[in-house]
Amino acid sequence: MANAIADALKLSEYRAGRGVGPAVKMGSLKRFSPASFHNASMEITQRLRSGQPISLDLHSMNDTEGRRLVDFCSGQIAGTSGWIIQLSDEVLVLVPGNE
């Protein structure tokens, strides 16, 4: 799972030229600890579409599903020009962009 997280972080690294940073959008952070990919993907999509940042705790997922979910989140975040911020080995913050 560590490699999937590292790849996702590279794709969403902060670039000063974008004009807005992730800290600006962290106001209504919601904590989410999914147990399976299917349930998590639906919930994450809905929350990101509504512009809501998510604290994603992957501790209760197995390694295969966790990697799959990180890859999924990376695509979702890339689609919104948002950010993925790593808080610990298995906790990420997903911040949707405004594009």
Residue 49 lies in a domain: yes
- Domain with 70 in it: what CATH number? 3.30.110.150
Please state the pTM of the whole predicted model: 0.76
Angle, helices 63-80/37-49, rounded to nearest 10 degrees: 20
Residue 16 belongs to some domain of the structure: no
The token pair at 90 is: 């298995």
56: in domain: yes
**Residue 69: what pLDDT?**
95
Domain count, the chain: 1
Residue 73 has pLDDT above 60, yes or no: yes
Structural domain contains residue 67: yes
Identity of the amino acid at 44:
I
> Which range marks the domain in which residue 64 is found?
2-10+29-95
- Burial degree of 78 (CB within 10 A; 0-12, 13-18, 19+): middle
pLDDT of residue 82: 87
Q: Could you give the percent of the chain with pLDDT greater than 70?
A: 81
How many residues belong to the chain?
99
Spatial separation of the C-alpha atoms in residues 96 and 16, rounded to whole Å = 16
